[in-house]
Amino acid sequence: MAEQTARPIRPAQGKLGVLCVGLGAVATTFIAGVENVRRGGATPIGSLTQMGTIRLGKRTESRAPLIRDFVPLAALSDLVFGAWDPLPDDAYTAARHAGVLDRHEHLAPIADFLKAITPMPAVFDQNYVKRLEGKNVKTGKTKRELAEALRKDIRDFKAKHRCDRLVMVWCASTEIFLSPGPAHRTLEAFEKAMDANDPTIAPSMLYAYAAIQEGVPFANGAPNLTCDFPAMEGLARDKGVAIGGKDFKTGQTMIKTVLAPMFKARMLGVAGWYSTNILGNRDGEVLDDPESFKTKEESKLGVLEYILQPQLYPELYGKIFHKVRINYYPPRGDNKEGWDNIDIFGWLGYPMQIKVDFLCRDSILAAPLVLDLALFFDLAQRAGMSGIQEWLSFYFKSPQTAPGLYPEHDLFIQQTKLKNTLRYVMGEEQITHLGIEYYQEA
Ligand SMILES: NC(=O)c1ccc[n+]([C@@H]2O[C@H](COP(=O)([O-])OP(=O)(O)OC[C@H]3O[C@@H](n4cnc5c(N)ncnc54)[C@H](O)[C@@H]3O)[C@@H](O)[C@H]2O)c1
């Protein structure tokens, strides 16, 4: 029985334009993957919106519809794709360069479709991504002018492709580390800083600003500051736009946010956690620059502190040594190898070790997240949920939260939060897992 009323949700009618900032490995694997699925030749494995179910009501009710049948999501057939990139390659050429998907099986059959997706000139500045050079770049006297040019791109794309709605996902490179400063406090300060070409305004912030001003939800797949500061949060709330980030949680950090809660649940201590990676794609090359790596490092390091709560359990986690390395190693391309050595201790302090060796494919893990985020951010927007979408922290390494609120990193708390939000939106009862009613006398 529904306990509450469903939120009014605008129907998912018409086309949904998905604007990817960056047309690299992740974006092309996502776009080509959706097209392969649409043509019936592939399965969207890894996508909760396409394959996941949701339990409703009591365990005895046997109600577990597919999520996409339960909430009104845009259909894959209604998605159209656009992108910006400083590299001029179309989606086919970029996907070939990325080397993720099989050329014969997944790219050649859709070559015409991919070749038709050409990147719009980007707002790009090498000062923020040192290891990249690109000529497909907008020019403008001020950062405000560049943001306005992005707004025009958004409007033009919407009109040209006759979209009903748009959503923007940052799939571009990781920028150098920036901390929030005076320019990020208020909208007025931010706009003045754009006019003054303030160096603390990075290109990613201009995309987020343009999206929010145009009423387009914005999801940040990289660890950049982008829209994680008061000026942008306030703007998103005022404009009624859904925003969120940061940094797709795909490989090593996903594993970390599953293992660490287990140690804490069983009150096992952790002395050290050494994580290292080898990665040979362009992302790996960009992250080889210490300033971009620092942005990533902060995002990857945060999770243990929040999950293990050393302030509550000083004996178990007070002295943990946590190290994260990413090493650029071209022979592996997109096929990352991530090693974790975890030194734990148990009863009376006896030490033990766990080793994880994850031979993963970075963009294969990330692509379904881009799809889910595009569909869920569009849902949030239609359901009138504006500002930070913390319920989508399931997808992020470094979830954006309301000021003063610490993020939940445990993957299964995040999953519960996500599914309970869907139940809430649709007016269904929350699932608390109390279950006492199954054992009470009638
Ligand atoms: N598993 C994963 O793959 C994973 C997980 C978490 C985060 N990420 C992040 O996702 C992003 C994309 O990863 P990728 O493997 O596709 O990298 P990639 O290098 O293949 O693609 C990034 C693209 O962004 C473009 N770009 C850079 N600055 C831009 C700008 N200002 N405007 C428009 N385009 C710009 C680059 O030219 C490049 O084509 C990276 O920031 C990465 O750290 C990836």
Regarding the beta carbon of 128 and ligand 1, being less than 6 Å apart is answered no
For the CA of 129, the nearest atom of ligand 1:
28
pLDDT at 442: 57
Summarised one tens digit per residue, pLDDT across range 316-363 is: 999 999 999 999 999 998 899 999 999 999 999 999 999 999 999 999
Is residue 333 within 8 Å of residue 281, measured between CB atoms? yes
Residues 106 and 180 sit within 8 Å (Cβ to Cβ): no
Determine the average pLDDT of the residues in 168-178. Answer: 96
Q: What is the pLDDT of residue 301?
A: 81
The model's pTM: 0.96
147 contacts 194 by C-beta, under 8 angstroms = yes
Q: For residue 3, what pLDDT band results from cuts at 50, 70 and 90?
A: low
What residues are paired with 344 via a beta bridge?
270, 352
Burial 173-210 (b: 16+ CB within 10 A, else e): bbbbbbeeeebbeeeebbbebbeeebeebbbbbbbbbb
Query: Ligand 1 centroid vs 8 CA: distance in angstroms?
Result: 35
281 C-alpha to center of ligand 1: Å? 10
Residue 312 has pLDDT above 70, yes or no: yes
Quick one: 288 exposed, middle or buried, by C-beta within 10 A (0-12, 13-18, 19+)? middle
Q: How far, in Å, are 125, 214, 429 from residue 139 at the CA level?
A: 10, 21, 52
Count Cβ atoms within 10 A of the Cβ of residue 438 and give its class: 0-12 exposed, 13-18 middle, 19 or more buried.
exposed
pLDDT of residue 391: 98
Separation in Å, CA 149 to CA 120, 121, 155, 192, 316: 11, 10, 10, 17, 53
* Tens digit of each residue's pLDDT (9 = 90 or more) over 268-311: 999 999 999 999 988 888 888 888 888 878 777 889 989 999 99
390 touches ligand 1 (CB under 6 Å): no
Predicted local confidence at residue 1, as pLDDT: 44
Q: What are the tokens at 276?
A: 């290292």
Respond yes or no on whether the N-terminal peptide bond of residue 246 is cis (omega within 30° of 0): yes
Predicted local distance difference test score (pLDDT) of residue 155: 98
**Does ligand 1 lie within 6 Å of residue 250's CB atom?**
yes
Residue 221 near ligand 1, beta carbon < 6 Å: yes
Ligand 1 mean position to 274 CA, how many Å?
25
State the first-to-last Cα distance of the chain, in angstroms, to the nearest integer: 19
Task: Centre a 10 Å sphere on the Cβ of residue 141 and count the other Cβ atoms it contains.
Answer: 9
Mean pLDDT across 86-113 = 97
Of the candidates 117, 94, 119, 92, the residue with the CA atom closest to the CA atom of residue 107: 92
**436 alpha carbon to ligand 1 midpoint, in Å?**
48
Among the listed residues 176, 171, 174, the one whose alpha carbon sits nearest the alpha carbon of residue 98: 171
Find the 68 Cα to ligand 1 centroid distance in Å.
28
The CA 291 to ligand 1 mean position distance, Å, reads 15
Helix, strand, coil percentages for the chain (3-state, nearest 5)? 45, 15, 40
- Give yes or no for residue 252 having a pLDDT over 80: yes
Q: Point out the ligand 1 atom lying closest to the alpha carbon of residue 336.
A: 1
Q: What percent of the chain is modeled with pLDDT above 70?
A: 99
Predicted confidence (pLDDT) at residue 2 exceeds the cutoff of 50: no
Q: Is the CB of 91 under 6 A from ligand 1?
A: no
